[in-house]
Structure 1
C-alpha cells in the first residue's frame, strides 16, 4: 500500500515548497537534470544482524529534484521497503539539495537503492497522538505514554495492554565538595527531572520524534537544563534516547556525583523465571536468574532440560522442579535483587551482586571493555537499557535494583556514582599572574592564554545516546549480543564517496587516486595520518565523559607523551580545523573508522568546547589543559563548518540544534573582546551596535551558521546577511588584506574604508577557505570573488609581488603549506598554469630529500623502561600540521591535480 501522508506531512510539504521558493525568489522551475538512482551501503560494509531503524542523509545535484520529492528504497529484487523521507536542505534555485530518510528493521538487507518514487507503509507503523496532557506513541501492540510535563520522560509502556515498562526518569546526584576530607562532611543532594515542554517533531509512519525540555530539580533548586529526544521506529521494540544537559552550576561547590536514566519494569514472574543480562567483552554475554536453579546439591538439582531453560531465559514450570524445591525448598535458595556493572576506566569493568539493600555485595565477574547493555525482566518480558560509547565514556555503570520485588529499576549511569565526583574546577590558580603583561609572558612560555575567571565550565554541555527496549520475553544470548552491537556500533546507511562527490557538495575535494608514484605517496601520507590518530586515541586513552572525541594538540618526544599538561599544547579543541580534516577524509574514502572518530569529535567539540549559556554563550574555548581552561573564547571553535557535514549525512537533530543556536553568535562579540590583549589597531574603536570582527576566524565562522540555516530553511535573511558581508569586504580598499573591520550587528555589513593592512596566518585556516569555496559556487558577488581570489593569489606570493599590491610585504604570513590551497584555488578559477606550479612548490617544498622523508615517515615502537607501556610513536606529527597538511593535500589534488606530476618532476622527486 502506498504511503498516505498525514495532514502534518502535507503541511511539511507545503512548508518545504515555500522554503524552496524563498531560496530562489520565485516558484521552482522544472528540474533541469535527472536524479540518479542511488545505491546505498552499510557504513561497516555488511548488513547488520539486528536493526531498530536508522536515519541517513543523501545529497542531490543542483536542479535535479523538487523540494517535496517522494522517495522509494528497494532491495535487490525490486521490493520496496518502508521509508520516511523529508528535505533538510535546498539549493539556491529551490531544488532539493539534501534529503533525509528513515527506514525500519526491514531494511537490514544488501543491495538497497534509493530513487524517486512511492514508499509503502510499514506493517507496524508509528502513530503519534497528542492527547492533551500526554503524547501516546503506538508501534504495533506496543504503546508508549509520554507526559508533556512532570517528573518522567515516559510514564509507562504496555504490550497488548500488559504493562512492560514503568516510569522512565532522570536522576542527578551532587555534593558540595569533591571528596570527604578528614574531620569534614559532604552534603549530598538528589535531583529528578521536571519536564516543561514536549513537542512532536515527527509523527510517523516510519519514525516518530518527540523533544522534551526541562531541568533537574530536588523540589527547591532547579539546575542542569536538559533536552531529550525520543525516537520511535516502525516495527521496533525500542526507543532511542538522545540526552543533552548543560552544566550551569558553580564548579567550586557543585560536584556531580551521578547522572543517570532510570527505567522501571514490573516483575510478575516467579523469581527463578526472572533474568538478568549484561553485555561483556566483544560478543560476550553474562546471564543469570534472580533465583538460580543451577549448582545446587544433587537432590535439589533440576533436570538438565530445566537448567538449560533457565540459562536461556525460557520459562521453567513449577511442576518440573525437584520435589525438595517444590516442598518449600525454594525459599532457601537466595534471591539476588541487586546487580552493579561498573566500568570506571576504559580498560576494566567489574560485576557485583547482592541479595538486597542492607547486605554485602559479592564479586561476580570482571572484564575489560563492555558494549554497555543490561536487561532485567522475566520470561514474560522486561526492559533492556544501553548506553552508546560505554567504555569510551568511563566512568559509567549499569545498575539493577529490586529485581526480587514487584518492580525493578534499571539505571544507565552516564557518570557512575561509584567514581569520584565530577570536578569542573579550574586546574590551576593565577600563581601571581595578575596583569595582562604577566599573562602575555605566561602565554609566551606555556602557550596558555590564562586569565583569572575565564577558565569557567559554566555553560558547557554533553550529549549521550541511550536505547531502551520494551521486550515481551527475555532475549536469548545471541539476540542480546546483537542488541548490544546496535548500542555500541549502530548500523548506518550511507552512499559511496563517488555519489557524494557527484552531487557537488562541501566545496573542493576529490576521490583518492594513487595512479602515479607521487599521487600514491601523497595518498599514503594521508592514510598514515588518519591511521596514526585512530591508533593514538586508544593507546593514549583519549577517553572519558568530557574528553572522548577530542585529540591532543602537540607531542613531547622527550617524554614520549603528548603535552597534556602544558598550557595551550594539550587538548586540541578544533584548532586549525581538525574536525574538517576528518570529515573531508571520510567524504573521499568512506572509511567507517574515520566516520566514527569524526562523529565522536563532533559530539565532543560542539558540546564541551562551546558555551551554551552564560556570558560566553555562542563561543568556544581555544586549546588547553582543560577543554574550558583557556581564556581565549572565540567563534572559530564554535564553528558550524565543523558540524554541518555530520548533520547532513545523518540528519541528527541535536547537532541541528547546536548549529541553529549559533545563528546570532556574532552578538557575543559584545560580551567578549577577542583582541583585548593585543596592541591597538586601526578600526578597533566602534560605536554601540557595532563590534570588531575578523574576516576569517570570526566572520568565517558566522557565515557557516548563516549558510547552513539558509540551506535548511530557505530564509533569505541569512543569505542577505552573508551577501552584506561579502559586498562590504569586497568594497574595501585592502579587501581581505584589511583582515578585520567594524561590523554592524543589525545589518551584517562591515564598516569603514578598510584602508589598512592586517594579515594573520590564522585568518584562512579555520574553515573559511572551505566555506568560501561553497559560497562562491552559490552566490554571485563579483567584488567579493575578486577580493578572495586576490587574497588567494597574493597571501603566499613572493615579497616583491605582494609589496606591489599592498605597498609593503606584510608580516604575519606563515603556514605556507596550508595556504598553498588558496594559491591552488586562484590557479584553478583563473586558469593559471604557472600559479598552479607555484602552489605545488609551496606545498611540496623545494627539497626533494625532505619531501621523501615526510612522505615515507612511519611510526616506530618505543618500549622498555622509557614508557609506561609499549607504544607506536611518530614524534614528528602535530595536530595542527596533520589537519592543515591533509586539507591542503586533498584540496590541491582536487583543484590542480592535473599538474602534480609536472611539479614533482620539476622538484626532482623520485619515490
Structure 2
C-alpha cells in the first residue's frame, strides 16, 4: 500500500539527518574541465528542509566545496513551507571523458568560501570585480567595458538602417542575482536608430560572472514586440556584438552560412576569447576581427539571406567572453550537468508526482521486461527524431535541414508544394504536445543524458519561437503558436498570422523542467509569461479540442507549484468546475463561470468524440485529483471514460480497440489506470494494460517529433502502476 502522510513525514525527518545524495558530473566530449561553473537543481522530499543553511556539497575526496544553495520553491499546500526544489552553484572539475561524483549532504560544518566577488551598482552602471577580471555594464552608452575590450555594443541592421542598444534612453539596468558565487546583471531595452526614437527589436541581456573566473557569460534575447498586425515584421539584415580591441589582432573572418562544415564557435582576438553557443546549429553566424581593431561576433551576418522576424518572435543566444586564456568552446556547446540518480527524482522525493524510475528494483518482476521494451521503443524513436535533423529534406528543388537560427530544436512536420494553396510552404512541429517535457520525463526516469541535452535544445526553441511574446490583442501575450506551424508562426490550415485561439497547442512544462534542472532564467521568464496567458485567456475548448482540458491544467498546476501564486490554483479549479458543468449539462453554470464552451446534449457525461484526446485530459485530471484532493473528481473522470466505451464510433468492444486513432491508445493508459484505482473496477485496468502491452509489443518507431510527444508524454506515467509503489489491492492481476 502507499505510505501514509505521517509515515512520509517521519521518513523525511530521518532523511534530513542523513541526507547523502550522490550527484554525477560526466564529461561528454573528451575535453578536460577545471573549475567550470555549474548550476544544478534537485528536488527534496516534502518536510525535509525549510531552509538551505545546512546544505553542503562534498567533492570526490569527501571535503566540503565552495557552494551556494538557494530555495527555488516550496511544496504546495505544505504549512511548514518545506523546500521542494533547490539550486546550487559550484565549480566542477572533471577529466576528459571522465565521471566524477559529488555528494549533497546536510551538515552544520562550515563550507569554504568562494574567491572574492564585489559589485558596485547604481541606476546608470554596475561594476564587478573578481580575481583576474573587472568590468562595467552600463545602462546607456557602451554596453560593456572590460579588459582589452571597449565600446561594446549590439548593432542591428534593418532596411539600411543601423539600430544600437546603446542609443536607447529608456533601457533599464539592475542586479538580478547577487550571491557569493555569482552576479547576474540584467539589462532590458531596445535597438534604437540614430534619432533616439525609432526602434527595431527589444532585448533582454543578462551578464553572469562567477567568483574567481575571468569570464563573462552573456545571454542575449531579442524580441519583436512591434506591429499592428501579427503579420508585421522587422527585416533582419544583420545583428552583431561589436567592440574595439585594445591589443592588435590579425584580420580574420569566419562564416557559418549553413550547417556544413560544422565549425566550433570559439575565436580569439586581441587576447580576448569569444564564444557563441551552437554556432553551426544556429546558422547563419560569423566572426570577424579587422585591422582597425574592430571585432564582431555576428549572430546574423550581413552576408546571409535576410530573415523576417515576425511579431511575437524571440531568439536567445549565449555568448562567452574569456579574459584569462584557454579554449572554452566545450563549456558552451557541451556544458557540465550535475544530476541525481533517477530514483531520487521519482520515488525518493515524489516531486514529480506518480513517476517511477525504470529499474528492476522499482518495477514488479513480471512487468520489468515490458517496461524495458517500452524504454527501448522510446529511445529508438528519440534517436530517429534526432537523426532526421541532419538527413533533411528537399522542398521546391532546394535542400533543407532542421538546423538554423529559428529551426534548431524543432522538426519539419510536412511540406505543401502547391503554391495555389494558402498553406503552401514548410510546416514545423512547434514542440507539439510538449516534446521537451517528454524528453525530460525520460531523463528523470532513466538518467539518459541524451534526452536531457535534447530536452534543453527543444526547450530553447519552445521558449523563443513556439510561444508568442507579443500579441496585438491585449491579454494574449504568451499564447502558443499553432501546431504544426507553417514556417513556425502561421496557422497550418490557412496561412493566417495568428497564434492559437484555444489551449489546443498550449505547453510549457518543458520550460519549467529546464529551469528547475539548470537554473535557466529565460526559461523561467517565458514559463511565467505562458502561464499568465492561461490565467488571462479562456482557451478551454472542450468539444472540439478536448486536449485543451489537459494542457490548461498542466500549465496551471505547474505554475502554482513553482511560483506559488494563488491565481494559478484558482484557474486550475476553474477549469475543473467548467468541465464538470459541461459533463452535467449545466449550461447555466457554464455561463456563470464565464466559459466559452457551448454545450451539446450528445456529450452529456463525456467530453467530446475525440477519444485519443481524453488521454491528455484524464492524465491532467488525475494529477489534479491527487494534488487538490477534490473527492468528486474520480467519479467525473469515470463518467467521461464510460462515455467513450458506450460509443461504438469510439470503442470497438469486440476487438478491444479505440477506433479513433488507435495509435494513440497508449496515451489513455495512466488515466484509465487511475480510474481503475479509484473505482475498484477491473475493466479500466484491463484496457489500460492491454493497450500499453500491445503498442509496446508492436514498437512502431517514429521519427516525427509530434507523434513522439503524443506517444510518450502521457504514457511514461503508466509504469508507476506496474511498480512496487502502486496499491497492492488495486490490481488483482499484478505479476
- Same-fold status (TM-score > 0.5): yes
- The residue that corresponds to 1:682 in the other structure is none
Give the superposed CA RMSD: 3.8
- Aligned equivalent of 2:530: 662
Question: What is the CA distance between 1:837 and its match in structure 2?
Answer: 1.7
Question: After alignment, is 765-774 or 656-665 more displaced?
Answer: 765-774
**2:568 aligned with 1:718, yes or no?**
yes
Determine the C-alpha separation between the residues in 1 that align with 2:585 and 2:255.
55
In the TM superposition, what is the alpha-carbon distance from 1:550 to its structure 2 partner? 0.4
Matches within 5 A, 1:102-117: 102-104=89-91, 110-117=100-107
Distance 2:499 2:543 in 1: 14
Matched, 1:339 2:252: yes
Shift of 1:571: 0.9
Cα distance change, pair 44–769 in 1 and its aligned pair in 2 (3 A) = farther
8 Å CA contact 2:289, 2:295 repeated in 1:
yes
**5+ residue gaps, structure 2:** 1-8, 393-400, 652-657, 727-732
Separation in 1 of the partners of 2:54 and 2:614?
39
Partner of 1:99: 86
Which residue in 2 is equivalent to 1:885? 711
Q: CA separation in 1, counterparts of 2:649 and 2:486? A: 41
**Aligned partner of 2:171 among 179, 196, 219:** 196
Residues 549-560 of structure 1: pairs in structure 2 closer than 5 A = 549-553=409-413
Whether the aligned pair in 1 keeps the contact of 2:433 and 2:507 (CA below 8 Å) is no
Give the alignment's TM-score, normalised by structure 1: 0.66
Query: Displacement, 1:132?
Result: 4.7
Given candidates 453, 469, 492, the residue that maps to 2:322 is 469
Cα deviation, residue 69, structure 1: 4.5
> Which position in structure 2 is the counterpart of 1:641?
509
Secondary structure of residue in 2 paired with 1:345: coil
Contact kept, 8 Å, 1:693 with 1:743, in 2: the verdict is: no
Residue 612 of structure 1 and its aligned partner are, at CA, apart by 0.8
Any gaps of 5 or more consecutive residues in structure 1?
1-27, 158-162, 176-186, 268-273, 275-289, 291-335, 348-367, 425-456, 560-564, 676-691, 804-809, 859-875, 900-905, 907-911
For residues 819 and 531 of structure 1, what CA distance do their matches in structure 2 show?
Answer: 24
CA deviation profile, 1:64-99 (whole Å, cap 9, x unmatched): 111455421011222111111111121120211000
Name the CA distance, whole Å, in 1 between partners of 2:359 and 2:629.
Answer: 32
C-alpha separation between the residues in 2 aligned to 1:591 and 1:79? 28
Instruction: After TM superposition, list the pairs within 5 Å mapping 1:446-457 onto structure 2.
Output: 457=310
Give the equivalent residue in structure 2 for 1:308: none
Q: Helix, strand or coil: the match of 2:242?
A: strand
In structure 1, what is the equivalent of residue 633 of structure 2?
784
SS in 1 for 2:33: coil
Pairing partner for 1:74 from 54, 58, 72 = 58
For 1:460, which of 313, 338, 352 is the aligned residue?
313
Q: What is the CA deviation profile of residues 463-519 of structure 1, one whole-angstrom value per residue up to 9, with x for unaligned ones?
A: 111111123xxx3xxx32xx1111221122221222111211233333234775444
2:688 aligned with 1:708, yes or no? no
CA distance in structure 2 between the partners assigned to 1:602 and 1:693 by the alignment: 29
Q: Secondary structure at the match of 1:664?
A: helix
Residue by residue, what CA displacement relative to the aligned partner does 1:130-182 show, whole Å, maximum 9, x if unpaired?
245311212124222122x213332x23xxxxx4332332111112xxxxxxx
Secondary structure, counterpart of 2:490 in structure 1: coil
- Size of the alignment, in residue pairs? 661
SS at match of 2:431: coil
In 1: Cα distance, 2:452 partner to 2:608 partner: 35
The answer to whether the 8 Å contact 1:244/1:463 transfers is: yes
Distance 2:220 2:243 in 1: 14
Q: How does 1:831-870 map to 2 (within 5 A)?
A: 831-845=680-694, 854-855=698-699
User: What do the CA deviations read for 1:44-66 (whole angstroms, capped 9, x no partner)?
Assistant: 56995244412111101111111
- What does 1:130-529 align with in structure 2 at a 5 Å threshold? 130-147=121-138, 149-154=139-144, 156-157=145-146, 163-175=147-159, 187-193=160-166, 194=168, 196-220=171-195, 221-248=198-225, 254-267=234-247, 290=249, 336=250, 338-347=251-260, 368-377=261-270, 382-402=271-291, 408-423=293-308, 457-471=310-324, 475=325, 479-480=326-327, 483-501=328-346, 502-513=348-359, 517-529=369-381
Q: 2:721 aligns with which of 873, 891, 895?
A: 895
Note if contact 2:553-2:624 (Cα within 8 Å) is conserved in structure 1.
Answer: no
- Between the aligned partners of 1:487 and 1:653, the Cα distance in structure 2 is 16
Alpha-carbon separation, structure 2, partners of 1:71 and 1:235: 22
Task: Find out whether 1:794 has 2:642 as its counterpart.
Answer: yes
Secondary structure of 1:776's aligned partner:
helix
Q: What residue in structure 2 maps to residue 627 of structure 1?
A: 488
**CA 884–895 in structure 1, closer or farther in 2 if over 3 Å, else same:** farther
Deviations 1:236-260 (A, max 9, x none): 1111111111124566774211112
Q: Which residue of 2 aligns with 1:817?
A: 666
| Rg larger for | 1
Change (3 A) 1:412 1:883: same
2:142 and 2:506 map into 1 onto residues whose CA distance is 32
Instruction: Tell which deviates more after alignment, 106-115 or 34-43.
Output: 106-115
Instruction: Quote the Cα distance in structure 2 between the aligned partners of 1:53 and 1:894.
Output: 35
8 Å contact from structure 1 (residues 213, 228) kept in 2: yes
Deviates more, 1:711-720 or 1:521-530: 711-720
Q: Is residue 608 of structure 1 aligned with residue 474 of structure 2?
A: no
Q: Single out whichever of 28-37 and 813-822 deviates more from structure 2.
A: 28-37
2: distance between equivalents of 1:37 and 1:763? 43
How far apart in 2 are the matches of 1:39 and 1:169? 43
Partner Cα distance (2:119, 2:154) in 1: 23
In structure 1, the residue matched to 2:395 is none
Q: Is the 8 A contact 2:467 2:530 kept in 1?
A: no
Q: How big is each residue's C-alpha offset from its partner over 1:607-628, in whole Å with a ceiling of 9 and x where there is no partner? A: 2122111225221222133100
Residue 40 in 1 paired to residue 23 in 2?
A: yes
Cα deviation per residue 1:389-428 (whole Å; 9 max; x = unaligned)? 11000111111123xx5xx33322111212111135xxxx
CA shift at 1:776, angstroms? 2.9
Give the conservation status (yes or no) of the 8 Å contact 1:395–1:416. Answer: yes
Residue-by-residue CA offset, 1:427-476 (whole Å, 9 max, x unaligned)? xxxxxxxxxxxxxxxxxxxxxxxxxxxxxx211111111111123xxx3x
Residue 544 of structure 1 corresponds to which residue in structure 2? 404
- Of 708-717 and 597-606, more deviation after overlay is shown by 708-717
Q: Sort the Cα spacing of 1:83 and 1:799 in 2 relative to 1 into closer, same or farther, 3 A.
A: same
Deviation at 1:374, TM superposition (A): 1.0
Alignment-derived partner of residue 734 in structure 1: 583
